[in-house]
Structure 1
């Protein structure tokens, strides 16, 4: 079993304890068993099924910041605190996904039906998403109220949640699935959407949480982390957009759907920037149409414009820029550039 698998198994072992704590709070309020069971089912269906990279990053970042070589070097109290914060990030992700799936009318998530598609759930999923978010603050209060950085944790979760919702808003009004209007698209809009919708909560949030627990709370250090992690998060999403169009199903584990779904992806925005009037006419007529013929016409334009080569050029440029930035990190107050290098290494040349 790899070290990564061992760490994930250990992290997963803490989730039933969290479910027990959260359902106990419902019992304390006098909720009937039917409601308690519903909440437990929602927590278990929506929270632990993904890759857990965000939650695990809280633990992994702390290990690096404290100079440990392995998660096993953490004492049990340290580990439990960090795992709990990691699960708070995963609860935030679950909250977003339950709502997102309803907005997108999605059918499946992580190989199972979306929560609102589960029999008898339907629109109750709206309230369930609120409860997943509220669970974060119940956990923070019961485990961190006496810590000097408690308010920092609360404010960080609130701020990142709002930022993510801003990104989602711009995405929804720019690229609704049922109304294709490529005049609304631009690389600047794409950049805002992915930075706010993905980068803050997926990259900056886990690192900042670990920094607070490790006592590295100087705004200069938080800014050093943010200044690399936000463009890195944007790079990660651009990579995702590229793989959706140019990756094989074997590579990415699914068939890419961004073209048919009218996604405001980097690929279409880069193509719009480079297209001739004739190519633009083809894209306007075929992008966001739910048939394979239209999709093929869009892909032909992308290949003719050599968007895959444009991506390779972008990837090398951003990787060099981030490496140069990481090399300039000031470690005098305890922050470590290795945190940022570790994240970059996970993303660079990723193929799935």
Structure 2
């Protein structure tokens, strides 16, 4: 697969999302214009982005022998963007994030709209309510767009979409629970990585596409061997970008994970590798606005950043080795994606 192939596929995903949302807008038009800004917000939220989950869905489809020109796959894969939108809207709300992709997060956007219009009630509560509902709407749309793709094996593949939804919620809960603890070890932090990100971003989308193309359980297992280390490497890169990334590129303020007190693998490595004094500093500064620069220095000084980069390299090599078990042509499909998720800057 080439960059041009990926770009063309992203364009088709955009078209599939637009077509689906237009049908939804028409179906809901009987409710009147009050719903317009709500639907607009859902459509705007899924505009752009890396389209990683649809790309992995297509990769699973191709590895399993699916027709690369079948437009029905575009519609099935596009459903994952609604699922991702739902997860991100709720995630931003839980984290109290002000921005997403360089724009106000949904709850902040509707809070500001409420305040600007001088509406009755509490603006913050209004923003929270809208974000919950918008996330729910997009979750519903994910199911509906997938089921309406017209592919013949949709019913069989639905088990992987169901697993994807359940696992990401479970992983999110583990993440929420981790924030209630004074410290979290590397193994526990990696469990969150696996369920909140690796399975959700890489493994289940691959399975979904492969199942739609009629993959057997042997191929599903071989895809897992590639997907889990690759997905874990993806999330570890995300953790690094969350602390050291360029806000102009990532679309989020630098150090947000530290400011929010996230118990990431990067933080767990810092506690493991630091001294008692370092751990005391970590406990004091994590989750504070003025401790970000101090913690960045601490993560580097203790060797935690280097350790996580080593983890990423190890996981990437593990995923690369697992490519050998894929059918002919599988490496050519998967290898560009492998580099995309581990060497990215946003």
Same fold (TM > 0.5): yes
The answer (yes or no) to whether the contact 2:76–2:149 under 8 Å persists in 1 is no
Structure 1 residues 81-160: aligned runs within 5 Å:
81-116=72-107, 117-118=109-110, 119-120=113-114, 122=127, 123-144=129-150, 147=152, 149-160=153-164
The answer (yes or no) to whether the contact 1:249–1:256 under 8 Å persists in 2 is no
Q: Which residue of 2 aligns with 1:322?
A: 319
The answer (yes or no) to whether the contact 1:48–1:90 under 8 Å persists in 2 is no
Q: Which residue of 2 aligns with 1:13?
A: 15
Aligned length: 327
Q: SS state of the match for residue 256, structure 2?
A: coil
Structure 1 residues 253-332: aligned runs within 5 Å:
254=252, 255-291=254-290, 294-327=291-324, 329-331=325-327
Instruction: Give every structure 1 segment of 4 or more consecutive aligned residues whose post-TM-superposition deviation is greater than 6 Å.
Output: none
How far has the Cα of 1:211 moved from its partner? 1.0
Q: Distance in 2 between matches of 1:42 and 1:91?
A: 12
Decide whether aligned partners of structure 1 residues 137 and 11 sit closer, same or farther in structure 2, where only a CA change above 3 A counts: closer
How far has the Cα of 1:140 moved from its partner? 3.2
Q: Which residue of 1 aligns with 2:165?
A: 161
The answer (yes or no) to whether the contact 1:243–1:351 under 8 Å persists in 2 is yes
Decide whether aligned partners of structure 1 residues 274 and 17 sit closer, same or farther in structure 2, where only a CA change above 3 A counts: same
User: Which structure's relative contact order is higher, taking Cα pairs within 8 Å and 6+ residues apart?
Assistant: 2
Instruction: Report which of the two has the higher share of helix.
Output: 2
Q: Distance in 1 between matches of 2:240 and 2:35?
A: 43
Q: Which residue of 2 aligns with 1:234?
A: 232
Decide whether aligned partners of structure 1 residues 101 and 142 sit closer, same or farther in structure 2, where only a CA change above 3 A counts: same
TM-score of the pair, normalised by structure 2: 0.84
User: Unaligned regions of 5+ residues in structure 1, if any?
Assistant: none
The answer (yes or no) to whether the contact 2:154–2:212 under 8 Å persists in 1 is no
Q: Distance in 1 between matches of 2:34 and 2:13?
A: 27
Q: Distance in 2 between matches of 1:348 and 1:128?
A: 31
TM-score of the pair, normalised by structure 1: 0.82
Q: Distance in 2 between matches of 1:319 and 1:14?
A: 32
Q: Distance in 1 between matches of 2:344 and 2:101?
A: 20
How far has the Cα of 1:197 moved from its partner? 0.9
Decide whether aligned partners of structure 1 residues 320 and 58 sit closer, same or farther in structure 2, where only a CA change above 3 A counts: closer
Q: Which residue of 1 aligns with 2:120?
A: none
Quick check: 107-116 or 220-229, which moved more?
107-116
The answer (yes or no) to whether the contact 2:323–2:330 under 8 Å persists in 1 is no
The answer (yes or no) to whether the contact 2:61–2:211 under 8 Å persists in 1 is no
How far has the Cα of 1:90 moved from its partner? 0.2
How far has the Cα of 1:340 moved from its partner? 3.5
Q: Distance in 2 between matches of 1:288 and 1:99?
A: 20
Q: SS state of the match for residue 106, structure 1?
A: coil
How far has the Cα of 1:169 moved from its partner? 0.6
Q: Distance in 1 between matches of 2:339 and 2:96?
A: 34
The answer (yes or no) to whether the contact 1:246–1:308 under 8 Å persists in 2 is no
How far has the Cα of 1:67 moved from its partner? 8.1
Q: SS state of the match for residue 143, structure 1?
A: coil
How far has the Cα of 1:208 moved from its partner? 1.7
Q: Distance in 2 between matches of 1:14 and 1:67?
A: 18
